[in-house]
Structure 1
Amino acid sequence: MGDHEVLTAAARPYLSTVMAKALSEGLPVTGTEMLDGGPAGLEAETEGWIELDQEAVAHRYGTKVFDLTVYWDSLSGWHIHAERPGRPDDDLNRWMGAGLVPDPTRVVTFIATMLVDYTMTGSEERPFYRRARQEVPALANRLRPYAS
């Protein structure tokens, strides 16, 4: 099993835990997805996202945002990605900056804050907590408690 497969399998329950916590808090989340970077795929070995109910996003932001999603990747942790109509070269990314595996409650707070004002949530500066293909066992071990 390659690094990307190990981390994808380890991260999937973590994202599910965050989504379940967000649902329990009444946030408009609808599902999670994981993308295995494969040996020649993504910059990170794996990434995943929590899908938001885009009708709820549209209710909050109107036409200012086309798509608002919360992503996690194995290099930089959590971030918001917003696609804005008429500004395809000006998509917005805001980084949580709380490490690779912050407590799900903290991630849910990040999501809730994003729903209030995504432009002021997090930081524009992308953190890097590790390099691809390095410290894979350590990250997998940090994600392991969410598998039970």
Structure 2
Amino acid sequence: MTSQQKLLRGAWAYTAAVAAELLAQDFPVDGVTVVNTVSEGDGASEAEAFVSLPAPWWTRAYPGYESPSLDWDAASGWTLRADQDTGTTAYWMGEGLTPEPAKVAMFLTAARVNGQVGSTDRPYYRRPKQDDPAPLTDRLLAYEDVLRRSDPLIKSSTSGWQRPLRHVFSTLLSTEHARMIDGHLTGWPEVRTVPLRAGEIQALTQLLEASDTADGNDLAADLRARYDAAAQEPADRTIPAQHSTALTRATLRKAKRQPGQ
């Protein structure tokens, strides 16, 4: 394996560890990407990484930002980028190239609370494509241990390194997203009246069914049953309780995850 391949492998492991921390703090991460930038022009580092979160979530959580993204660079570390009328502004976190994942989560949380964080002055912790990447690579690869602890099947190898890391991250995504969904379903028991057109209910249930997930199918079935029941008894406030398969199953899953059970 070349030094560049090792650097990319390490960047993936570190970024996945950061994504895992974000997921644990209820950030709805839906992907991680590592890009080989060694052949790009002056100023580019050898590798970049991107933590993907859904665009609608960004809009709700960070109304002051346009098309934001959370990026990592092998020369300058983490940045929160946002489009503005004058172009793209980068808010650099600082804290070096491999801050603890919890610190990256704090950086993203602070941006949500305070509006702006970090500095627009880009730091350089190493000279791109000039300094030996080995010390950085070693620090990045140390995060493979974090992934191994979450999945005992992962093994080091000299080829096909993306497959095990993708597998681990896929497991983290599915596990943490299930936990978040169960939290949403069980966390707000009050019944609210939400005006929806009949066609909107049909479109929503179809989208849920198209997700081809157990939760999506359960929610779709509950909504269809409530829609039909409300057509007969519009004022019946017990309808949600009568058709709550998704909530019931989420409650059972949540109970199983509780310590000591």
More helix by share: 2
User: Runs of 5+ in structure 2 lacking a partner?
Assistant: 146-261
- Give the alignment's Cα RMSD to 1 decimal: 1.8
Please state if 1:145 is matched with 2:142.
yes
Give the paired residue count.
143
Superposition pairs of residues 1-148 of structure 1, within 5 angstroms:
1-40=1-40, 43-62=44-63, 64-84=64-84, 87=85, 89-118=86-115, 120-133=116-129, 134-148=131-145
Kindly provide the amino acid, as one letter, of the partner of residue 127 in structure 2.
R
Percent sequence identity is 29
* Residue 48 of structure 1: how far off its partner (Å): 0.4
Larger Rg: 1 or 2? 2
Moved segments of 4+, more than 4 Å = none
Contact 1:4-1:39 at 8 Å conserved across structures: no
CA distance in 1, matches of 2:62, 2:77: 25
The secondary structure found in structure 1 opposite 2:31 is strand
Kindly provide the amino acid, as one letter, of the partner of residue 145 in structure 1.
A
CA distance in 2, matches of 1:96, 1:114: 10
* Residue 2 of structure 1: how far off its partner (Å): 4.8
Kindly provide the amino acid, as one letter, of the partner of residue 78 in structure 2.
W
CA distance in 1, matches of 2:38, 2:54: 29
Kindly provide the amino acid, as one letter, of the partner of residue 122 in structure 1.
G
More strand by share: 1
Contact 2:38-2:45 at 8 Å conserved across structures: no
* Residue 116 of structure 1: how far off its partner (Å): 2.6
* Residue 40 of structure 1: how far off its partner (Å): 3.9
Kindly provide the amino acid, as one letter, of the partner of residue 57 in structure 2.
A
User: Runs of 5+ in structure 1 lacking a partner?
Assistant: none
CA distance in 2, matches of 1:94, 1:66: 13
Q: State the TM-score, normalized to the length of structure 2.
A: 0.51
Kindly provide the amino acid, as one letter, of the partner of residue 65 in structure 1.
Y
Q: State the TM-score, normalized to the length of structure 1.
A: 0.87
